[in-house]
């Protein structure tokens, strides 16, 4: 086809031009038709390519188009969350068949997993920890009273997991499972006092003053109580944020610290996701 087009375009050298006012010769007519056809095909092809490109761009997610990607809002990339399997014939904690609001699942499986890119602590790595390991999170002046309260309660297990993200934020989550909702509530209200108007009595180690966070009011997880706090300036080399989630017979303590200032967005995200696993 290419060779035929070249030969047709070379024909004018031997064919005389038609006088003005007379119809073009048959050979000239064919040349005009070939030119029109070639330009029409080119326009159609270019139009098709352009249309295909536009459709391709509009079909892509905004983050897939170079120059249009949106910046991260600071949230961490957690794996997809799944509720653990229950023992046979055991209900979920907040159903009509479970008036006692007991978590029958293994409490270790209710711990929030570490986000992508985080370095997980070698110990406890999602296992059980001792009472003393949990109390080490608090100031020394609070530990003796809290230890006595836990000994008098029906505390069954403390499960914990910790990790550090590349930005230096250190996270720890402890789940305390009691023998009943009443014991869990008594420990939270009496020993920790996280629901007090002026903030909890028992403070994390090194924290001297606090600010109560309000974002927990926006967490839509039924059957849970959420209390969050941050260390008030002036603080030392690192800032601490911490939160409690009370869900039936279980209390979660989420703690985050980082040199300079602990980030707000991943803290809210972590508290929300842990509440969802317990609710």
Which residues sit opposite 240 in a β-bridge?
Answer: 257
CA dihedral 125, 175, 107, 225 (to 10 degrees): -140
Which residue range forms the structural domain that includes residue 50?
A: 2-62
**Are 111 and 180 found together in one domain?**
yes
Residue with tokens 């967490």: 219
**pLDDT tens, residue order, the chain (279 aa):** 333 322 333 334 444 444 344 344 444 444 444 444 454 444 333 344 343 333 332 333 434 333 333 457 899 999 999 999 999 999 999 999 999 999 999 999 999 999 999 999 998 889 999 999 999 999 999 999 999 999 999 999 999 999 999 999 999 999 999 999 999 999 999 999 999 999 999 999 999 999 999 999 999 999 999 999 999 999 999 999 999 999 999 999 999 999 999 999 999 999 999 999 999
Q: What is the CATH number of the domain that holds 259?
A: 3.40.1000
> Are 143 and 268 members of one domain?
yes
Measured in degrees and rounded to the nearest 5, phi and psi for residue 103 equal -90, 105
Considering the entire predicted model, what is its pTM?
0.75
245 in any annotated domain: yes
- In this structure, the answer to whether residues 49 and 176 fall within a common structural domain is no
Cβ(112)–Cβ(277) under 8 Å?
yes
Nearest partner of 119 among 159, 168, 173, 174, judged by Cα: 168
Looking at the domain assignment, is residue 77 inside a domain? no
67 lies in a domain? no
Claim to verify: residue 33 and residue 112 sit in the same structural domain = no
> Do 115 and 238 belong together in one domain?
yes
Task: Domain count for the chain, please give it.
Answer: 2
- Alpha-carbon distances, residue 258 vs 200, 236, 238 (angstroms): 21, 11, 5
């Amino acid at each position: 086809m290419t060779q035929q087009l070249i030969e047709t375009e070379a024909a004018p050298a031997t064919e005389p031009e038609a006088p003005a006012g007379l119809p073009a010769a048959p050979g000239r007519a064919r040349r005009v038709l070939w030119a029109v056809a070639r330009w029409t095909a080119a326009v159609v092809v270019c139009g098709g390519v352009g249309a295909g490109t536009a459709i391709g761009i509009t079909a892509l997610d905004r983050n897939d188009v170079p120059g249009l990607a949106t910046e991260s809002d600071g949230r961490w990339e957690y794996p997809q969350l799944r509720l653990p399997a229950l023992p046979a014939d055991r209900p979920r904690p907040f159903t009509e068949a479970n008036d006692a609001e007991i978590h029958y699942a293994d409490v270790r499986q209710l711990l929030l997993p570490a986000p992508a890119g985080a370095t997980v602590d070698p110990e406890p790595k999602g296992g059980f920890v001792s009472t003393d390991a949990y109390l080490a999170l608090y100031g020394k002046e609070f530990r003796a009273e809290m230890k006595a309260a836990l000994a008098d309660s029906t505390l069954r297990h403390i499960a914990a997991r910790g990790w550090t993200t590349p930005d230096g934020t250190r996270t720890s989550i402890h789940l305390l499972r009691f023998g009943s909702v009443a014991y869990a509530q008594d420990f939270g209200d009496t020993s920790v006092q996280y629901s007090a108007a002026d903030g909890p009595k028992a403070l994390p180690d090194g924290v001297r003053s606090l600010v109560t966070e309000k974002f927990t009011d926006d967490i839509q997880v039924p059957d849970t109580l959420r209390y969050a706090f941050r260390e008030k300036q002036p603080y030392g080399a690192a800032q601490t944020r911490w939160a409690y989630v009370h869900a039936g017979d279980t209390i979660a303590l989420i703690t985050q610290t980082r040199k300079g200032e602990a980030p707000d967005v991943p803290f809210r995200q972590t508290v929300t996701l842990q509440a969802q696993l317990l609710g």
